[in-house]
């Protein structure tokens, strides 16, 4: 207890002045201490720094500390240029529809698609529609790009400098090209009239405290995209007043698309979302029939310029026709097709992502989601309070009739009965929060199989909302989550790298006895290899090459005696419909494998190589249709070998402990610039099936600091 000095009371009752001075000093000292504590407290809580800086760690990941949001956007633009400058400018040139003008005839099809879809004009409309403050953020990102080139002219290829200067409109044009006209619908999908075709996939997990060994919620982010072009991810941390988020964005996008902070995080997977339709028009004279009347096309003449080998420009006329459905994308003597795409009037996608990263709890996060600016992608979410969520996010057209399969084909365009004009509101979308199972997953399967017992009932939603199926990768995902009742952080990382082929587990019990019964000498040798195989696709797995080659030739629609059933979603399909044919196919494949590699039991890593840049390592992982959770899509290379072209790209494993625990990996490195040491520096970790620690505090970052840049 504080001891005060003795007090003498004067005859008149007054206290000596020394006591008054003492009390006054004590009060002043208390006030001074309080002010000091407040000042220091504000600094501890993240008061804005006097200047903006980028701390580059030893993996080439930028950690941005900005004095305000505009400065953060400017620094992020600068950082992306340092890491991906050549690619970024080329992507922006394509988004303008002027790539053929800049770089020649190889880009004619790209320009024709962008101009037909009206991307440049719509980008201007979107730019003007932005809130003034967010528009200034886009301008700041563009300024960071332009300033980087001014200050580092030799770091960027002369070939792409023709795109400069970059503007805020370029950012929004690129966003449209990526989201609406690549992910929602691509030229390849239109050509095949196949809504389900996609180059992209992903895994996502959310684990509640009830199933976590630590009692903390956990999140796994694991997109699978091509390892090139507009699909490349970029890892970064952005810290400014109101935000401290870590994650990844696609190159050229000025906000994080997958991210976490101290309180929550989310990931995306490509969902079974139908956000476009192809309408077959009934021509009449110079127009088309619609609801019994002939309507004229809205026609616009566009000049498509193409750079010639001698540097001159040749102009090609491009006539863009629009019906009430949208632009005409194909016209032959007997068929005219118009395209309708969702989200073209949703101009605030970037601001929504930005606010998702700034959210601190589920209520704030959902408030951002409810704007429905993002045209597609599943959202898998977890937070510090233990909540987990699966949202089948997207702009889903309200359709009068027809199931999911119907809307995958050509739609009659002569009636307003098939023309959708509205989208389902947020409350209509398939969604579950905190299911009894304690876990959620998505492996590009429909939302009905996100957890078991089934938490989202398909019959409560329109039949066109999403299809009904569950492939082997999704079944593998569910199996791992369901089998482990208390999952540790390290186990989650281990499961993420699983190369087990669940399809092999399902079918070998039928194939092996069939080969024993019907197989020739070659068939017997092949089945001996398959019996000894560990059913993994690890570098040293012997038998995986033979089995995968057999599966590649198998017609999955006809192969099974028991097709997939929603009544037994985790154990079907099963059984060989024609065992003898399966054995004949095995022997045919075995002949090819033995001829190509000199043996049937060739190791997976001898054939499937992690060849990227100047690195060439034994590979692991494989195609998801085999039930492999660790997805790597390989393409033929040389000498009978294969190299990665897509699959596991950005991976983040997060536990919402105090402090947050996180590990991550960017498979191909965090830079694509020529000569960068960070273009392949993470691939050896990828080969070893390891993640690296995420450094988020200044203390940890500075302990692994490569460069510091001040702005």
In the predicted model, is pLDDT for residue 28 greater than 60?
Answer: no
Q: Confirm if 178 and 375 have CB atoms less than 8 A apart.
A: no
Residue 255 has pLDDT above 60, yes or no: yes
Residue 3 has pLDDT above 60, yes or no: no
Q: Is 12 exposed, middle or buried (0-12, 13-18, 19+ CB in 10 A)?
A: exposed
Q: What does the alpha-carbon distance between residue 688 and residue 690 come to, in Å, rounded to a whole number?
A: 5
Q: Coil, strand, or helix at residue 662?
A: strand
Is 140's pLDDT higher than 60?
yes
Tell me the backbone φ, ψ of residue 189, rounded to 5 degrees: -65, -40
Interior/surface letters 400-439, b for 16+ CB within 10 angstroms, e for the rest: eeeebeebbeebebbeeebbbeebbeeeebbbbebbebbb
pLDDT surpassing 50 at residue 2: no
Residue 380 and residue 205 in contact, taking contact as beta carbons nearer than 8 Å: yes
Query: 433-469 pLDDT, tens per residue?
Result: 999 999 999 999 999 999 999 999 999 999 999 999 9
Non-local CB neighbours of 25 within 8 Å, separated by 6+ positions:
none
Above 60 in pLDDT, residue 100?
yes
Pick the residue with more confidence: 403 or 17? 403
* First-residue to last-residue Cα distance in the chain: 51
pTM (2 d.p.): 0.92
Mean pLDDT of 215-240: 98
Q: Is the peptide bond between 92 and the residue preceding it cis, with omega within 30 degrees of 0?
A: no
Q: Report the pLDDT value the prediction gives residue 534, as an integer from 0 to 100.
A: 98
Q: Return the percentage of the chain with pLDDT > 90, whole number.
A: 91
Going by C-beta distance under 8 Å and a sequence separation of 6 or more, which residues neighbour residue 669? 59, 60, 676, 678, 679, 680, 681, 682, 683
Give the separation between CA 147 and CA 435, rounded to whole angstroms. Answer: 49
pLDDT at 580 over 60: yes
The predicted structure's pLDDT at residue 198: 52
C-alpha 295/C-alpha 300 separation (Å) is 16
Whether the pLDDT of residue 36 is over 70: the answer is no
Once rounded to an integer, what is the mean pLDDT over residues 578-591? Answer: 98
Q: Nearest-5° angle of CA 620, CA 625, CA 630? A: 30
> Does residue 562 carry a pLDDT above 90?
yes
Question: How far is 457 from 430, CA to CA, in rounded Å?
Answer: 8
Q: Per-residue confidence at 192, pLDDT binned at 50, 70, 90?
A: confident
Mean of the pLDDT values across residues 341-351?
98
Per-residue pLDDT, averaged over 227-244, amounts to 98
Secondary structure of 51-112 in the HEC alphabet?
CCEEEEECCCCEEEECCCHHHHHHHHHHHHHHHHHHHHHHHHHHHCCCHHHHHCHHHHHHHH
Q: How many residues does the chain have?
A: 711
Average pLDDT in the 275-290 region?
96
β-sheet bridge partners, residue 289? 294
Query: What was the pLDDT predicted at 620?
Result: 98
Judged by average pLDDT, the poorest of 11-15, 138-142, 664-668 is 11-15
pLDDT at 388: 99
Averaged pLDDT, 87-103: 98
CB 356 within 8 A of CB 362: no
pLDDT digit string, tens, across residues 669-697: 999 999 999 999 999 999 999 999 999 99
Per DSSP, the residues of 547-611 read HHHHHHHS-HHHHEEE---TTSTTT-SEEES-HHHHHHHHHHHHHHHHHHHSSSS-BHHHHBEEE
Residue 118: pLDDT band with limits 50, 70, 90: very high
pLDDT confidence of residue 24:
53
Assess whether pLDDT exceeds 50 at residue 552.
Answer: yes
Query: What's the pLDDT score for residue 35?
Result: 47
Q: Which range among 169-178, 187-196, 635-644 shows the weakest confidence by mean pLDDT?
A: 187-196
- Average pLDDT value over all residues in the chain: 93
Check whether 199 has a pLDDT greater than 90: no
Predicted confidence (pLDDT) per residue in 496-540, tens digit: 999 999 999 999 999 999 999 999 999 999 999 999 999 999 999
The 10s digit of each residue's pLDDT in 41-61 is 443 344 566 799 999 999 999
Give every strand in the sheet of 264-269, ordered side by side.
431-433, 388-391, 378-383, 264-269, 258-260, 243-250, 233-240, 62-65, 53-57, 705-710
Q: What is the pLDDT of residues 372-427, one digit of tens each?
A: 999 999 999 999 999 999 999 999 999 999 999 999 999 999 999 999 999 999 99
DSSP state of 10: P
* Selection from 700, 200, 109, 101 nearest residue 444 by Cα: 200
Asked if residue 29 has pLDDT above 80, the reply is no
Residue 318: partners with Cβ closer than 8 Å, 6 or more residues away: 112, 115, 116, 301, 302, 303, 304
How many CB atoms lie under 10 A from the CB of residue 7? 10
- Exposed, middle or buried: residue 191 (CB in 10 Å: 0-12, 13-18, 19+)? exposed
Tokens describing residue 214: 């630590």
Of the candidates 574, 524, 521, 581, which has an alpha carbon nearest to the alpha carbon of residue 550? 581
Average pLDDT rounded to a whole number, residues 348-360: 98
pLDDT of residue 298 exceeding 50: yes
Tokens of 272: 């079974």
Among 48, 63, 47, residue whose Cα is nearest residue 698: 63
Q: Check residue 333 and give its pLDDT.
A: 83
């Amino acid at each position: 207890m504080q001891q005060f000095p003795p007090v003498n009371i004067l005859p008149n009752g007054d206290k000596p002045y020394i006591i008054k001075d003492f009390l006054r000093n004590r009060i002043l000292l208390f006030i001074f201490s309080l002010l000091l504590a407040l000042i220091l407290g504000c600094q501890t809580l993240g008061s804005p720094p006097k200047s903006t800086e980028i701390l580059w760690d030893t993996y080439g990941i930028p950690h941005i500390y900005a004095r305000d949001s505009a400065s953060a956007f400017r620094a992020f633009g600068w950082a992306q240029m340092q890491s991906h400058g050549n690619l970024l400018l080329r992507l922006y040139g394509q988004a303008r529809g002027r790539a053929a003008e800049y770089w020649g005839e190889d880009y004619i099809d790209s320009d024709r698609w962008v101009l037909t879809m009206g991307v440049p004009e719509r980008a201007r409309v979107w730019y003007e529609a932005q809130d003034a403050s967010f528009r200034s953020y886009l301008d700041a990102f563009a300024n960071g790009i332009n300033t980087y080139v001014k200050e580092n002219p030799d770091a960027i290829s002369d070939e792409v400098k023709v795109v400069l200067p970059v503007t805020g409109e370029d950012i929004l044009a690129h966003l449209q090209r990526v989201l609406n006209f690549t992910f929602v619908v691509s030229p390849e999908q239109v050509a095949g009239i196949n809504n389900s075709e996609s180059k992209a996939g992903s895994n996502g997990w959310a684990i509640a405290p009830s199933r976590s060994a630590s009692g903390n919620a956990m999140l796994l982010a694991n997109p699978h995209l091509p390892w090139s072009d507009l699909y490349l991810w970029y890892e970064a941390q952005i810290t400014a007043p109101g935000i401290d988020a870590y994650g990844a964005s696609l190159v050229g996008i000025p906000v994080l698309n997958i991210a976490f902070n101290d309180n929550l995080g989310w990931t995306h997977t490509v969902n079974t979302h139908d956000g476009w339709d192809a309408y077959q028009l009934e021509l009449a004279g110079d127009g088309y029939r619609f609801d019994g009347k002939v309507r004229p096309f809205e026609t616009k003449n566009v000049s498509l310029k193409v750079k010639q080998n001698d540097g001159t420009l040749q102009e090609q006329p491009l006539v863009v026709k629009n019906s009430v459905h949208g632009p005409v994308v194909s016209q032959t003597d007997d068929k005219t097709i118009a395209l309708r795409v969702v989200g073209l009037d949703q101009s605030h996608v970037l601001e929504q992502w930005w606010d998702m990263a700034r959210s601190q709890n589920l209520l704030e996060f959902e408030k951002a989601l409810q704007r429905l600016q993002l045209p597609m992608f599943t959202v898998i979410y977890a937070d510090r309070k233990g909540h987990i969520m699966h949202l089948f996010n997207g702009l889903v057209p309200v359709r009068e009739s027809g199931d999911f399969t119907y809307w995958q084909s050509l739609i009659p365009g002569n009636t307003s009965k098939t023309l959708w004009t509205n989208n389902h509101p947020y409350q209509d979308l398939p969604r579950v929060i905190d299911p009894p199972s304690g876990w959620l997953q998505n492996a590009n399967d429909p939302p009905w199989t996100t957890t078991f017992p089934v938490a989202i009932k398909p019959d409560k939603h329109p039949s066109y909302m999403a299809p009904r199926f569950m492939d082997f990768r999704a079944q593998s995902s569910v199996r791992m989550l369901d089998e482990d009742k208390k999952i540790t952080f390290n186990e989650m990382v281990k499961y993420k790298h699983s190369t087990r082929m669940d399809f092999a587990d399902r079918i070998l019990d039928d194939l092996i006895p069939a080969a024993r019964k019907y197989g020739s000498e070659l068939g017997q040798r092949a089945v001996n290899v398959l019996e000894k195989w560990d059913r993994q696709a690890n570098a040293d797995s012997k038998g995986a090459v033979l089995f995968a080659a057999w599966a590649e030739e198998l017609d999955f629609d006809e192969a099974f005696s028991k097709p997939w059933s929603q009544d037994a979603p985790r154990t079907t399909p099963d059984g060989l419909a024609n065992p003898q044919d399966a054995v004949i196919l095995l022997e045919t494949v075995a002949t090819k494998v033995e001829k190509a590699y000199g043996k049937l039991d060739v190791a997976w890593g001898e054939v499937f190589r992690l060849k990227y840049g100047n690195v060439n390592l034994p590979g692991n992982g494989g195609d998801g249709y085999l039930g492999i959770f660790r997805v790597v899509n390989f393409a033929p290379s040389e000498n009978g070998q294969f190299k990665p072209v897509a699959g596991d790209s950005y991976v983040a494993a997060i536990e919402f402990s105090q402090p947050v625990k996180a590990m991550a990996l960017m498979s191909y490195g965090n830079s694509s610039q020529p000569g960068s040491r960070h273009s392949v520096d993470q691939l050896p970790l990828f080969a070893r099936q390891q993640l690296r620690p995420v450094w988020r505090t200044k203390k940890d970052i500075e302990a692994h600091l490569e460069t510091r840049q001040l702005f």
